[in-house]
Every structure is written in structure tokens, then in C-alpha cells.
Structure 1
Amino acid sequence: METEWLQRLNPSARVYAVNSPSVSVPPIVQLANRAAADGRPFAPAHARFGVLFCEVRPGRCVARMPVAPATAADGALDPAGVLVLTDAALGVAIGSGLPDGRRITTLSLGLSTTGRRPAGPSLTATAQVIGDPGHGLGTGVLTDETGTELARLRTRCAVIDGAPPAGEPSLIVGVPPASGAGSAWQASVEDETDRFVVLRASAPPGLGNNTRRVQGGAVAAFVELAVARALRRVPAWPSRPTDGPVVRDLDVTYLRGVPADGAPLRCRAVVQHSGRQFATARAELFDGAGRLLAAGTASRYLAG
């Protein structure tokens, strides 16, 4: 097969090159490497957060994004800001190991932070498939410019019939970069107390993937915005038993796809437990008809 385009390199991309016409390159590897070689985002949500593929080969994906949309005002890592990058890298790592005529849909997505602050201008997600790609299990690591590990990443995907969606450059035209997950979603507060929060937002096309549904990482980011706000509403720890960092865990399960058509969404997060060092919350995401789309759990822990 013709692989001339696979030889093209940009400064941040190492494409998977195949010289032998007898070697079949999985379609998602071809598509992702074409985007990497061109130095362009693969999907609207990637453009929103500045996500670019750097290296794609069967069973492995490396992707990068600017650090700014993924950091809080105090310089700490914002989990909501890295979930589009997380989903992009993990999904392609699994999909790249599948045969023709098979593709994935994400069932769950999660990350656990180390509490370290990012250094440098960019973040990198390195993801790989675990075992048989048909089992849909992937893991990865998020690092900064110095190679410091900031988070561990994980996903479980369903493998279904169908060709992987092609990257459509027309879909990313005019998609502006976001300063973070909050600016990308533009969510408003419907109700909140010191135990729960309800956020409302629409499902904008600029957070979509190439199937015109909201990208899984963007969905998870909306859930994270709700649970993070709920956990911030919990009264502060009465005393700080340590000076250690606050570490976070997030896990999101997907039940239905979310069309990127501007339809209204509603996410309700409830604090389940709040102790001296550990607090947890659970969130549910609904569409305008009241159907459950996704559910997530999150925790914060004052390490020491």
C-alpha cells in the first residue's frame, strides 16, 4: 500500500513508518499519523484544548497539549483540563491495535493524580493497550516537560463493528482554543449547597469528536467540573494534619453518547463523605429529556 505520507515528519511528531507494501497499517494509525504529520488536531475537541498526536503505532499513542488549559490559578494540575488529552491518547492506543472493520467506543475513563505541579509549556500523555486490543483495556501516564509523572490514566472500551471515524479538517475550522475546561463548557450553576451542586451547560460542536458526538474526555471534564465544585463547597479541613499535596482520583462511566448539537445538559454532584483528609463525591449527567448519560465518582486526599 502507498505509505509515502507516513514518511513526513514535523518537529514534534514521530510517525509510524512502513516501507513494505506487504505490511497493512491499521486505518486509525494512518488517520492519526496523517494528522500528526500535518501538525493539525484530529477532532474539534482536540483543537479546543490544543491536543496533537506525536507518535502513533499499533498499540501505542503519544499525544501532547499546552499546559495552560490544564492548570489551575495556583499552578496545580486541573484534572478537568487534561481529560480530552487522556481520552485521545488512550482511545487511539487501543483502536490502533484492532483489525479493519472494528472500532471502539469508550465505556469508562479515569485518572489518578500524583499531586505534583506541572513544569514547562506542555504536557504529554503516553498510552498503550494492555493485553489483547479486543478486550479494550488501556493505561497511560501524564508527564510534564521534565518527565515528571503527574497522573496515571486508564480506560475500558467496547470493541464494535465499523470503521474508525476519519479526521475531517472542516470540523476543526473556526474552533477557538479554550483557556480550560470551565471556559470550554461555559457551565452555569443551577443550585448548590455545602453538600451538592447542579451545573447546566449545552453540548457544543466545538467539543465534539469525528462522529459529531461530544468527545468522551470532554464529557468527563464536565463531570469533573461538577464534582470538583461540590468538593470545594465542603467546609475546609478543621486542621491540616500534613503539608502534603492534595491528590485526586476520578472515574467516569459512559451510558449513552452525547450529541454535540448544543442540546442542554445537567450534571448533579453530591458529596458522599468528608473527613479530615479524605472526601468523595458522585455525579450524574443527564440530557434534556432526563436520560442518564454518564456517571462519575471523584475523591480528594490530603497526602502526607
Structure 2
Amino acid sequence: MASGLETETQWRAAARLSNQRLVEAPVEGQLGMSVDEMSPAGVRTRMPIPVGELAEAGGGLEVATSVLADTAAGIAFSAHRGHGGPTIELRLDHVSAPTEQARWLIAEASVLHEVAGAAYLAATVRDDTGQEVARATGHFLLTRGSLGAGPPPLPDSSAVESPELGGPAARTLPGRADELFRALAPGGDPADWVLSASEWLANARYDVHGGVLLAIGQLAQHRFQEADGAALALTPLRIETDYLRPVPVDGGELRCRTAYVRRGRAFRSVRSELIRADGQLAAVVNGLWSSVEGPI
């Protein structure tokens, strides 16, 4: 039986290995995501809040929040089971915007239970001032291991450092993610948005990242409602995504079709369908939005 020290050492090594994988992963690497802590209880991860004109145009905060929540839950699942698995569905409930002085988003994620071939996970996203930004819950597939390439060699303790609060990563990040935000910048008809399934949108399995698909749906719904003359106080309350098929990162067309389910005066239900180049439905994103003045 391993001693407490050996167990702690193993978890630190697992966190370092996870950080090495994040550095090499296309989306997470661009966004500067890292693992702070990993234990049997779950994981704590962080990501700099993207800043700059390109990040604003490409939905930097929306992308960062959804990618961080999805990936944090995935890492917690991998730590719990010893292998990863695709996201089946993910719900993101928005709580508040980060404070003006915040520079980081921090997510804590854990497995809550397993049922009928799926693991159910929860993640809470806060900024580095402690303000809660979002809550996420979702199901991940239990019955299949990771489809990615084999893990890289375990780095030594100095190979990958987790950034400290107030460190330089937030200053150097925005240029690294330029291509990601260019790929998500608005263009064409927001009700029928066509973009490329490019390498800048990839997860470790080289499909379009699940958090990016969620963000695409949210961005499309926001732009669709703005084009329809929505109020300036437009706020997402809940964004929920069902993942039906992977979207290969092959440069092919990815189409996002958006329409109202119900357009109320104060609250709206909006649905986006993400369709692969072969015409197959890849994901369905349902959003609940408010046009009531609020603190977000």
C-alpha cells in the first residue's frame, strides 16, 4: 500500500503530465490553460482571461469559459478513471461576469457519480478575485478510452511550471490565441454562419473541441439576436450542448444554423445546429437568454 507521501507524489506527477499535454493541445495550448492541483477529490485548473481586440471580436471570454469548464471536467474524469472519454452533453449556467481587476479564470471540477455508461461531472468557474462566473455539469462517456495518441513521456518536476497568480502568462497569452479568435470572428449571416473546421479549433483527438462547439453556438445566438434588434442587455443564462458526432479538423465546412424556439419580450429560447461538411448533425446547442437589465 502506498504511503501518503508516495500518493501525493503520484498526483503531482499526474498534474505535471496533464500540464504537458495541455501545452501540446491546440486549443488549450493557445489559451494558456494549466492544472494547479489534482487529487482524488478532483482538479483545479486555470486560464488567463483573453484580452485585446481580437479576443473581443472572437468571443474570448465565452471561449475561455466554455473550454475551461469542459476541459477541467475532462481532466477530472481522466484522473478518476485513468483514461479520458468524449463529452456526451454539457450545460453551462452563467452566474456573473469576471470583476474588472480579474486576470484569471479558475475551475474546480470533480466526478459526482457514474450511471448507465456515463460519468456525471460538475465544474465551478471563478475568477482570481473569488467571484463565481459559471457552473457547468455534464455527462462523459465511460465505456471508451481516449482516442488520442499515446501520452508523452512524464516530464521532470521542472519541465512544466503551473503559472502563479499575477504572473506573466496573462500578458503574453493574447498573441498566442490570435488564430483561434480570428477563426471565430463574426462573418456573413449570423443565422447561417459558415466557418472552417481548422486546426486552431482542435482538441487532443484532433476533432473540434467540445468547449469550442459550445462557444460557437453561444456566439452565434448572441450575434443572431443582435442582428434581430435585441436589447443591449442581452445575457446568456444557460447554454446546453448535446454532442452527437465529432467534427474532424480537416479544414472542411462547419455550418452553424440558428433560430428562435421562442422569442419572448424578456426571455428567449434559441437553438443552434452545428453541421459537418458531410451534412451530418454534429451538435445541438440550446440557449436561454434574458434581455432584462441585470448585473452580468
TM normalised by structure 2 equals: 0.76
Tell me which residue corresponds to 1:107.
88
Contact 2:199 2:249 in 1 (8 A): yes
Q: Give the number of aligned pairs.
A: 267
SS of the residue 2:89 aligns to: strand
1:263 is displaced (CA, Å) by: 1.4
Long gaps (5+) in structure 2: 154-174
Tell me which residue corresponds to 1:276.
265
1:187 is displaced (CA, Å) by: 5.6
When residues 223 and 246 of structure 1 are mapped into structure 2, their CA distance, relative to the original with a 3 A threshold, is: closer
Contact 2:180 2:201 in 1 (8 A): no
Long gaps (5+) in structure 1: 2-16, 170-175
1:156 is displaced (CA, Å) by: 0.9
Spell out the pairing of 1:79-118 with structure 2 (5 A cutoff).
Answer: 79-99=62-82, 103-118=84-99
More helix by share: 2
Rounded Cα–Cα distance in structure 1 between residues aligned with 2:132 and 2:18 = 26
Tell me which residue corresponds to 1:12.
none
Spell out the pairing of 1:1-304 with structure 2 (5 A cutoff).
Answer: 19=6, 32-36=15-19, 41-68=23-50, 78-99=61-82, 103-118=84-99, 119-132=101-114, 135-163=118-146, 165=148, 166-167=150-151, 177-178=176-177, 182-186=181-185, 188-189=187-188, 191-192=189-190, 197-237=191-231, 246-301=235-290, 302=292
What is the CA RMSD across the aligned residues, in angstroms? Answer: 3.6
1:293 is displaced (CA, Å) by: 0.5
Rounded Cα–Cα distance in structure 2 between residues aligned with 1:40 and 1:105 = 16
SS of the residue 2:230 aligns to: coil
* Larger RCO, structure (CA 8 Å, separation 6 or more): 2
Rounded Cα–Cα distance in structure 2 between residues aligned with 1:147 and 1:233 = 34
Rounded Cα–Cα distance in structure 2 between residues aligned with 1:149 and 1:77 = 18
Contact 2:15 2:35 in 1 (8 A): yes
Rounded Cα–Cα distance in structure 2 between residues aligned with 1:303 and 1:111 = 20
When residues 188 and 30 of structure 1 are mapped into structure 2, their CA distance, relative to the original with a 3 A threshold, is: farther
When residues 164 and 258 of structure 1 are mapped into structure 2, their CA distance, relative to the original with a 3 A threshold, is: closer
Rounded Cα–Cα distance in structure 2 between residues aligned with 1:129 and 1:139 = 7
Rounded Cα–Cα distance in structure 2 between residues aligned with 1:70 and 1:89 = 25
Output the amino acid matched with 2:75: V
Contact 2:91 2:238 in 1 (8 A): yes
Q: Percent identity?
A: 26
TM normalised by structure 1 equals: 0.75
Contact 2:201 2:208 in 1 (8 A): yes
Rounded Cα–Cα distance in structure 1 between residues aligned with 2:230 and 2:200 = 36
Contact 1:141 1:151 in 2 (8 A): yes
